[in-house]
Amino acid sequence: MNEELLQIAKATKGFMPDDEGMALYNYALDMLSMSRSPMIEIGSYCGKSSVYLGAAAKEQRSVLFSIDHHRGSEENQLGWEHHDPELYDPTTEKLETLPLFRKTITLAKLDESVIAVIGNSKTVSRYWNIPISLLFIDGGHSLFEAMGDYLGWSQFIQRDGLLLIHDVFEDESQGGRAPYEVFVAATSSKSFKEIDTVGSLKVLKKL
Ligand code: SAH
Ligand code: MG
C-alpha cells in the first residue's frame, strides 16, 4: 500500500488495528482486480478503515461508498466506554465525526474514490439497487443494528464478492456478540463461505 496513505490511516482516530486494516486493503485490491463494482462500508467514523479500502478503490478505479450518520454508536456517547470528548458536540449532545472524516479523506487525496453517504445505513439500504463487489460491516454493534445491516445489504453482494465483518468475538467478555451472530447467520445461510480470519475481522465469500 502507498506509504503516504498508510501513514494517514495509522494516524487517524478509530478502531482498526494495522494488520486488519492491511487485510481490508489486500482483499479489496484483489476483489476489484476481478470486478470494479462499488464497495460499501458501514461505519465510517473518522475514516480510518475508509483509507485502507479507499486506497484499493483508487488503484483499481472503483469507488467506496462509506455510510455513517456520523452521530456515533451507543458506546461512543457521553458516559459510555468508547466516548471521545474531542468528538462531542454539546449542541446536539451527540458525537460529530463528519468534519474529521472529510479531513482524513481529503488529506489522503481520496475524494474521488471515497464517497460519504450520511444517514442511517438501513434507510439507505432500502433505496439501494446496485450490485456490490465488497461489503464491510462495522456500524452499530447492537443485534438490531448489526443484523439489520446484514439483512439490508448482503443481498447486493455479487457472486464471488466479499463480505467482511468486523469485531467478531465468540467470547462475550471480549466484546458484544452481535457481529458474531451476524457471522453465524451468514455462514449458516449457505450463501457465504468463510475464507479467512484476521484478528476480529472475518472474511467471507458469496457463493
Ligand atoms: N470503521 C471505523 C469505526 C466505525 S465505529 C474505523 O475504522 O475506525 C461505528 C460507526 O458506525 C460510528 O461512527 C457510528 O456513527 C456508525 N453507526 C452506528 N449505527 C449506525 C447506523 N444505524 N447508520 C449509520 N451509521 C451508524
Ligand atoms: Mg470495528
In this structure, the residue with its CA closest to atom 4 of ligand 1 is 43
Active site residue 69: no
pTM: 0.97
Q: How far apart are CA 62 and CA 147, in angstroms?
A: 27
Sign of CA dihedral 131, 135, 138, 140: positive
Q: How far is the CA of 167 from the centre of ligand 2 (A)?
A: 5
Average pLDDT of the chain to the nearest whole number: 96
Q: How far is the CA of 50 from the centre of ligand 1 (A)?
A: 12
* For the chain, domain boundaries: 3-206
**pLDDT the model gives residue 79:** 86
**pLDDT the model gives residue 81:** 85
Q: What is the pLDDT of residues 21-69, one digit of tens each?
A: 999 999 999 999 999 999 999 999 999 999 999 999 999 999 999 999 9
Using the structure block, give the residue that is written with the C-alpha cell 453517504: 117
Sign of CA dihedral 152, 126, 60, 11: negative
Q: Are 145 and 139 in contact (CB under 8 A)?
A: yes
Q: Are 65 and 127 in contact (CB under 8 A)?
A: no
- DSSP string for 129-157: ---EEEEEE-S--SHHHHHHHHHHHGGGE
**Phi/psi zone of residue 201: left (φ > 0), alpha (ψ -120 to 50 degrees), beta?**
beta
Is pLDDT above 90 for 77? no
Q: How far apart are CA 89 and CA 202, in angstroms?
A: 33
Is pLDDT above 90 for 171? no
What is the percent of the chain where pLDDT is above 90?
Answer: 91
Length of the chain counted residue by residue: 207
SS3 state at 71: coil
In this structure, the residue with its CA closest to atom 22 of ligand 1 is 120
Q: Are 161 and 128 in contact (CB under 8 A)?
A: no
Nearest to 72 by CA among 40, 100, 50: 100
Is pLDDT above 80 for 147? yes
Atom of ligand 1 nearest to the CA of 119: 24
* Residue 21 near ligand 1, beta carbon < 6 Å: no
In this structure, the residue with its CA closest to atom 23 of ligand 1 is 120
Fold classified for 3-206: Rossmann fold (3.40.50)
